[in-house]
Structures are given as C-alpha cells and as structure tokens.
Amino acid sequence: MAEKKRALGRGLSALLEDAGTDITSKSEATQGATLGSVSMLPISQIEVNPFQPRTKFEKEGLIELANSIQEHGIIQPITLRKLGYDKYQIISGERRFRASQAAGLKEVPAYIRVANDQAMLEMALVENIQRRELDAIAIAISYKRLLDECDLTQDALSQKVSKSRSSVTNHLRLLKLPAEVQLAVRDGQISMGHARALIGMEEKKQLSMFRKIVAEALSVRQVEDLVRGVETKKASKPKLNKGELSFEQQKLKEDLSDMFGNQVIIKKDSAGKGKLEIPFNSDEDLNRLAGFFNL
C-alpha cells in the first residue's frame, strides 16, 4: 500500500525541515525533536498523561478519527513534554494519539514543551474544558480541579478558560446537586438549564422535580415556571412584607452575586423603590468590581 501523505497543516512541513537539534535523541526519527517546534516522533517513545481529566473516549468516534488519519494524516500535532532520553508524555491530544495507534501509524507530529506536573495538569484541564462536546458536569469538575489542585482563584480561572466569572460559578454550582441529577446532566438526559433551575430547592424537591422533568419531558422554561410556582406557593400565605424580595428579584440577586463574585444586597420598600449594594473587601476588590463598569 502506498504511504499516505502526512497532512501536517499549512507551514508545518517547513517547520519540521527547519527544526534544530538543541535537545535531541540519537535515533534518526527524533533528530528534529526540538523544544517549541513541531517534530515527528515514534509512537513507541510516547506515553499517555496520568493527569488526563478525560477518561472516556467514545469508541465509534475513535474509529472514525483513525480512518480519517489513515486517509489524511494528523492535521493538528499533539503536545508533549520531554521526560528524558527518547521519552515523552502527552500534555494534550490523547484522542489523536489513540486514533493514530489504531490507524497503525509509527510516528506522529508533536510540539515539545517543558512542564512540571502542576503546569501539565493545568494545561490538560484547560485544553479539556475547551472541547465543544464536553458536558457541563465534566467542565464543572475540571473547573473544581483547577481551583483546588492548581491553586487558582475564580477570577484567574475565568481568564485562563476565557469564560465569564458568572459562567464559571454557574458550572461549579452544579456540583452541589444530588449525584442522580449530575449523572443525568453528564449523560444528556437533562440540560444544564434544567439543572440550574433546581439549584435553589431543597434536595428532596430537587429529586422530585428532576424525575418530573424526565417523566414529562419538560422544557427549561416549564421547569422554571414550576419552581417559581413552588416558591410562590410557599410564600403565598403571608404576603410579601415591606422590603421582602419576590422570587424573580431573589433570583436576580443571586445572578448578580454570581456575576460580580460578591454578595449583592438589594433593599426596597413597599413602593418598589430601593438600592442595590455591592460590598467589597479591599482596594483590589473595589478595582476589580470597577472593571465591570469600564471605570
């Protein structure tokens, strides 16, 4: 069988030809393996990332990718770190690596980087979060690992993943839901919108409403209306006291608190007049809040 052309992408072949030999092995196959450049490396010298947050690789998708690689080669190089002489570990691109193995390739194009274990975990998690097909729970777990294991703040995390602070917070709040609901989000049984609507409820009511969503195939809007009805019914006997917030206003308060990262306070009188307060903890915190208003 004629050898397939390697589809390295525009300009990558030239990079391979120009790669220097600052850090190389003695084998011919790795003479171009230079940090920061693209090099062809034997698959036998590459090992998977033990910190890989993505543990499920859909079999059918891998077969399709392997067939594509057999036909067109690897378009996007994988990213590796150098462990030692003729030994590399995957930072990102494990799916492409597995498909290349299935396609029977002997070598793959790769970027070579240097990274310690924490930086490697961080890079793998950030790359994983950016996958379009990743479910909301997997994203939330990756966010939590970045916060806990990489010692990031929510502000730093939102910048790293190019998401708003409120988006990060909304994903993290999903991890407070019962396991049964989280699994349903992960498996596509309900959407993130359905799950978000349940967050403010007691756990028993969350589970009851979740089962109703599944049994009756309710839309997100229907769920929000039902949850609002439960809250309204709860508060229907005593009417709203002076300054008491309605369900919609309470939800607005929570959404604003998520967006600003500080506990927002809404005060109002019976006529509907009032004020919105955003407390801050330091000069830095004040400057961060000012950034929301382009001040």
CATH at 109: 3.90.1530.30
Residue 48 lies in a domain: yes
Dihedral over Cα of 61, 62, 67, 70: its sign: positive
Note whether 196 and 213 are same-domain residues: yes
Contact 218, 212 (CB under 8 A): yes
Last residue of a domain, one of 100, 115, 130: 115
Note whether 20 and 93 are same-domain residues: yes
Note whether 221 and 261 are same-domain residues: no
Note whether 212 and 260 are same-domain residues: no
In degrees rounded to 5, what are phi and psi of residue 159? -70, -40
Note whether 65 and 40 are same-domain residues: yes
Active-site option among 3, 58, 60, 94: 94
Q: Report the percentage of the chain scoring pLDDT > 90.
A: 16
Note whether 79 and 16 are same-domain residues: yes
- Give the number of other CB atoms < 10 A from CB of residue 251: 17
Which residue segment(s) compose the domain that 191 sits in?
178-237
Note whether 263 and 202 are same-domain residues: no
Last residue of a domain, one of 211, 237, 263: 237
pLDDT at 288: 76
Residue 276 lies in a domain: yes
| pLDDT at position 161 over 90 | no
210-235 pLDDT per residue, tens: 999 999 999 999 998 888 875 444 44
| pLDDT at position 112 over 90 | no
Residue 253 lies in a domain: yes
Candidates 185, 162, 161; CA nearest to 173 is 185
175 token code pair: 């991890």
Instruction: Compute the C-alpha angle 148/193/278, nearest 5°.
Output: 60
94 CB-near residues (< 8 Å, 6+ apart):
48, 49, 52, 54, 57, 78
| pLDDT at position 237 over 50 | no
72-89 pLDDT per residue, tens: 788 778 888 888 788 898
- Give the number of other CB atoms < 10 A from CB of residue 240: 12
DSSP 152-204: --HHHHHHHTT--HHHHHHHHHHTTS-HHHHHHHHTTSS-HHHHHHHTTS-HH
Residue 194 lies in a domain: yes
How does DSSP classify residue 239?
A: P
139-152 pLDDT per residue, tens: 888 888 788 767 78
> Does 94 qualify as catalytic in the annotation?
yes
Note whether 40 and 109 are same-domain residues: yes
- Beta strand 107-113 with 78-84 is parallel
Residue 138 lies in a domain: no
Q: What is the mean pLDDT of residues 14-37?
A: 40
Note whether 232 and 263 are same-domain residues: no
Last residue of a domain, one of 96, 115, 134: 115
Residue 66 lies in a domain: yes
What amino acid is encoded at 87 in this protein? K
- At 187, which CATH number? 1.10.10.2830
| pLDDT at position 5 over 50 | no
pLDDT at 53: 60
Residue 107 bridge partners (DSSP): 42
Contact 96, 66 (CB under 8 A): no
| pLDDT at position 27 over 50 | no
Burial class of residue 114 in the structure, from the number of CB atoms within 10 Å of its CB (0-12 exposed, 13-18 middle, 19+ buried): exposed
Q: What is the mean pLDDT of residues 123-129?
A: 77
- Give the number of other CB atoms < 10 A from CB of residue 107: 18
The Cα–Cα gap between 236 and 246 comes to 11
Q: What strand order describes the sheet that includes 46-47?
A: 38-42, 107-113, 78-84, 87-92, 46-47
Does pTM top 0.85 for this prediction? no
The Cα–Cα gap between 79 and 35 comes to 11
**Tally of structural domains, the chain:** 3
